[in-house]
Structure 1
Amino acid sequence: MEALLTSTALVALAEMGDKTQLLAMLLATRFRKPLPIIAGIFAATLVNHFLAALVGHQAAGLLDAPWFRYAVAFSFIAMAAWTLIPDKIDEDAPLKAPSGAGIFVTTLVAFFLVEMGDKTQVATVALGARFANVYAVTAGTTLGMMIANVPAVLGGEALAKRVPMRALQVGAALLFLLLGLWMLAGLLGWA
């Protein structure tokens, strides 16, 4: 349960103002069909985050040395700093569905590719390394992405004007920092 709740909270907050959330708003304003966009976001996130959690879990299993656990703890602290850097997306870039593909496929491909190397994917790798349950981490990070992106699709630009993105980014950064420090404290025998 800890893996699910931690993963959900971290990713939901880290996604606020992230480039994939901006992509969700952009898709919503361009295509104006929320259901296939939401379905595409869900499918892309589920696959992407399952693979990321699996990579993290496998890396933790292969590299069970203390230095690797320190690396995971420091990666959470680095994620805290990275979360404070706001993402931008080029809203003037042409965004058209590939020939023969619908809004779902366009969203699926766009989200999957934009999420590659994104801070929420890197966080999912770290969470997969931290917790022994790939499925709980995948479910939590996917739920966190949906918590952040469904309102972005449904509310679009109105949401961006009302939600204090900077405060959410700072909150996410604090959660990453606390998780990293908690791991370090455990490794040093302080917790």
Structure 2
Amino acid sequence: MIEALWLSTAVIFVAELGDKSQLMAMTFATRFRARDVLLGITAATAIVHLASVAIGYWIGRGFADYQGPIAIAAGIAFLGFAAWTLRGDELTEDEAEKAKKASGSALLAVGVAFFLAELGDKTMLATITLATQHQWFGTWVGSTIGMVAADALAIVVGIALGKHLPEKVIKYGAAAAFAVFGLLLIAEGAGWLG
């Protein structure tokens, strides 16, 4: 469980850097208290990642005899996440305006926005991928911690500096990390087949 927790924390933290939801966190932090934004992010992330882990666990256990091909498919997915990260993910002006104008409870506004933003996002897909290979509870807790930590970093930096993290450094670093994880998974899968 500890290995799954640490691995998923690291992978999801890196995946979240420069992601649209991290930009949403900065935007929400300009309107609501940072504590409320973090609580909303945590609740939404825990729910989405629990569903992601359930899907990944089902795939990993249902196809236990095919661990080699699953590892290769997971590695290819991580290479895809690397390309997705290089392509970038931006918050549109319309999305930023909606985040600023959110009404009602801060927790509800942030929680619903993050829940919807994370459905089908690369961090959700990365969590599914991790859960096919690793223990589900550690993956769930780790992926939630990684995402909340990355978004907390965005909030702190956004408040302190009033601008975004160095985008190119984050983009290339995250893409490189995904590529390394992808190549390692492909090598592991090839070992199962050999």
Which consecutive residues of structure 1, in runs of 5 or more, have no partner in the other structure?
Answer: none
Runs of 4+ in 1 over 6 A off after TM superposition: none
Q: Structure 1 residues 159-168 or 140-149, which shifts more?
A: 159-168
Q: Structure 1 residues 13-22 or 89-98, which shifts more?
A: 89-98
2:72–2:190 CA contact under 8 A, matched in 1: no
1:51-70, Cα deviation, whole Å (9 max, x unpaired): 10111111111123243332
CA drift of 1:164 comes to: 1.9
2:70–2:189 CA contact under 8 A, matched in 1: no
Counterpart-to-counterpart distance in 2, 1:114 and 1:77 = 22
Change (3 A) 1:155 1:168: closer
Corresponding letter in the other structure for 2:102: A
CA drift of 1:165 comes to: 2.5
How many residue pairs match? The answer is: 187
Corresponding letter in the other structure for 1:122: L
Counterpart-to-counterpart distance in 1, 2:52 and 2:33 = 29
Q: Residue in 1 aligned with 2:50?
A: 50
CA drift of 1:152 comes to: 1.9
Which consecutive residues of structure 2, in runs of 5 or more, have no partner in the other structure?
Answer: none
SS in structure 2 of the partner of residue 55 of structure 1: helix
1:13–1:169 CA contact under 8 A, matched in 2: no
Q: Structure 1 residues 180-189 or 159-168, which shifts more?
A: 159-168
CA drift of 1:169 comes to: 2.2
1:124-170, Cα deviation, whole Å (9 max, x unpaired): 11111121x11111111111112111122233265573632321222
* Residue 152 (structure 1) aligned with residue 129 (structure 2): no
SS in structure 2 of the partner of residue 88 of structure 1: coil
Q: How many percent of aligned residue pairs carry the same amino acid? A: 37
Q: Residue in 2 aligned with 1:106?
A: 109
Q: Residue in 1 aligned with 2:129?
A: 126
Q: Residue in 2 aligned with 1:94?
A: 98
**TM-score normalised according to structure 2 size:** 0.87
Corresponding letter in the other structure for 1:67: P
1:152–1:159 CA contact under 8 A, matched in 2: no
CA RMSD of aligned residues (A): 2.1
Counterpart-to-counterpart distance in 2, 1:91 and 1:26 = 11
**TM-score normalised according to structure 1 size:** 0.88
SS in structure 2 of the partner of residue 84 of structure 1: helix
2:158–2:164 CA contact under 8 A, matched in 1: no
Counterpart-to-counterpart distance in 2, 1:94 and 1:73 = 36
Q: Residue in 2 aligned with 1:24?
A: 25
Which has the larger share of helix?
A: 2
